[in-house]
Amino acid sequence: MKKKLIKGLDLEVYSEKLSNGLEVYIIPFKNVKLTYATYTTRYGGNNNEFIPYGEKEMINVPKGIAHFLEHKMFEQEDGSDAFKYFNENGARANAYTSSKQTTYLFSGVNEFYNNLKHLLSYVESPYFTDKNVEKEKGIIKEEIHMGDDNPYSRVYKGLLFNSLINHPMKYPVIGTDESVSSITKEDLYKCYNTFYHPSNMFLVITGNVNPVITIKLIRDHENKRNLKSKRKITLGEYKEPNEVFRKEEKLKMDITVPKIGIAYKINIKDIKLNKYKVRSYILSGISTKLDETSLFYEKMSKKDILTIPVDLEGIVLDDHIIVMILAETNNPSLLLKEIKKELKDLSITEEEHNRAIKSSICSQITSSDNIFKMNSLLMSSIINNGEVVYNPIKRIRKYNLKEYKKIISSINLDNYTIFEIDPLKED
């Protein structure tokens, strides 16, 4: 077990890679009673094409299957559901699936070690039958319909669909009515056996926890499984063209204020820098131009074009970054025109750069008081960078204006797609 300080945050990370490949990360907090544990597989909505464990041919599974699998993991062979045990111990449990990961979690004050054993056990014991798979379809379809009625979610999904051509992120993690209907228990087992091997998974525990006892418990539990480390997973490869799938789309919904989004598809293949660092630079520049500290926002709010700041999102793909700007406005065409105009010049001053650095550092320190935020930061770091960042503040301080200028001079914001939702007018 390794112990390393996260400099500047007064926190220590205990970590170990077990013989079966499972990675464990623990951050003890001295000031809290609660403990939060997350158990994650590097498997999400993006992974629909792969060679199943023990097979030789690449297969395509129905879209939405990673999320479906997450739902089904809670069902146990004895007919109970995994929530029950946590609830009986006064803990709260849940799970979620994103494009790159599926995470099972619980938080609680008492019975931590028993809850942890339960988390490991149920995630490691799939039980799928034709009947329980069929039963879940109605529930998930209602979850899909709930998202379909949410205009913000529709803009987000619409921008991804229209930006991308081949990349699996084009499609929603949850799937569609049709794809969910076609999922079988055999599909689920193939996905489970391929992606839920310990060498593809990691645990992050934050809060009131003793790292020595906890790692021993996990080690003992995992040793009993007798699984060998490192299994290579072969995923489908996607060559994503530079152009967008569709330049513009409009939709009508039963809403009152139009929602609009623009997604820039930026090729970063030739930028010799960590992709996530490139994303940070680009988002920081765009944010400086459009956020509440900008003259742009002040002008837009005085003209009644924006009443809340735009939302920014940056998604890192293989050779591209998709930067989304989402807004609610009564004048979508004028807002888009103004955004495009504003972003023609992404140069920022040294003062603006320093402000962004100060803001990021303070956010890091503020988050380090919170076991949920620290757990989430650690997870993102492992998923995106493949490692824990032990000196986040120094890392932020290394961002510099020279590098920023170099990056913005090499990106192109002429390649974008627009998605707009307008109110449905009664005839």
Partner 1 sequence: MEYIKESTGSYNLHTIKVDKFKNICMTIKFKAPFNEKEIVYRNFLDIILIEASKKYSSRRLLKLATIDLYNLKIYSNSTRRGKYSILSFSTSFLSEKYTEKGMFSKSIELLFELILNPYVKNNEFDKELFDVCKNILRDDIISSKDNPSRVAVLGLKKKMSPNMPCSYDDIGSLEELNKVTPKKLYDYYKKVIKTNIIDIFICGNIPSNTSSIIKDKFKVVNECIKSESHYIKESNFKDKYSIYKESKKVKQSVFTLGFKLKDMDMFEYRYVLPVYNYILGAGPSSKLFKEVREKNSLCYSISSNINQLDSIGLIIAGINKDNFDKVKELCLKLIDDMEKGKFSDDDIKEAIKCYLDGLYSVYDGVSSISNIYESVEYFDSDMPEVMKEKVKTVTKKMIVDVAKKIKVDTVFLLEGSLDNEKEIN
Q: Which residues are catalytic?
A: 70
Write out the binding residues for partner 1, residues 21-80 only, by CB under 8 A: 30-34
Does 414 participate in binding partner 1 (rule CB under 8 A)?
no
Beta bridge partners of residue 325, listed in sequence order: 262, 312
Q: Name which position in 21, 45, 108, 198 contacts partner 1 (CB under 8 A).
A: 108
First-to-last C-alpha distance (Å) of the chain? 68
Q: How many residues bind partner 1 (CB under 8 A)?
A: 67
- 109 or 217: CB nearest partner 1: 109
- 149 or 243: CB nearest partner 1: 149
Does 135 participate in binding partner 1 (rule CB under 8 A)?
yes
Does 368 participate in binding partner 1 (rule CB under 8 A)?
yes
Does 145 participate in binding partner 1 (rule CB under 8 A)?
yes
- 16 or 291: CB nearest partner 1: 291
What SS3 class is residue 394? helix
CA distances from 260 to 158, 298, 329, 351, 358 (A): 10, 19, 7, 31, 31
Residue type present at position 361: I
CA distances from 107 to 93, 201, 216, 329, 349 (A): 7, 19, 20, 39, 44
CB-neighbour burial class of residue 267 (10 A; exposed 0-12, middle 13-18, buried 19+): middle
- Token code pair at residue 354: 């320093």
Residue type present at position 310: V
CB-neighbour burial class of residue 155 (10 A; exposed 0-12, middle 13-18, buried 19+): buried
Write out the binding residues for partner 1, residues 304-333 only, by CB under 8 A: 304, 307-308, 328, 330
Q: Name which position in 61, 155, 371, 413 contacts partner 1 (CB under 8 A).
A: 371
Report the distance separating Cα 83 and Cα 104, nearest Å. 11
- 23 or 422: CB nearest partner 1: 422
Q: Name which position in 12, 16, 62, 83 contacts partner 1 (CB under 8 A).
A: 83
Beta bridge partners of residue 323, listed in sequence order: 264, 314
Does 420 participate in binding partner 1 (rule CB under 8 A)?
no
- 156 or 195: CB nearest partner 1: 156
Report the distance separating Cα 106 and Cα 116, nearest Å. 8
Residues near 334 by Cβ (< 8 Å), separated by ≥ 6?
305
Does 394 participate in binding partner 1 (rule CB under 8 A)?
no
Closest distance between partner 1 and the C-beta of residue 51, in Å? Answer: 32
Strands (DSSP E) along 57-134, which ranges? 59-60, 92-97, 102-108
Closest distance between partner 1 and the C-beta of residue 167, in Å? Answer: 23
Closest distance between partner 1 and the C-beta of residue 191, in Å? Answer: 21
Closest distance between partner 1 and the C-beta of residue 44, in Å? Answer: 19
Does 252 participate in binding partner 1 (rule CB under 8 A)?
yes
Does 365 participate in binding partner 1 (rule CB under 8 A)?
yes
Does 359 participate in binding partner 1 (rule CB under 8 A)?
yes
Q: Interface with partner 1 by CB under 8 A: which residues?
A: 10, 30-34, 81, 83-84, 87-93, 108-110, 135-140, 142-143, 145-146, 148-149, 151, 177, 250-257, 291-295, 297-298, 301-302, 304, 307-308, 328, 330, 355, 358-359, 362-363, 365-366, 368-371, 424
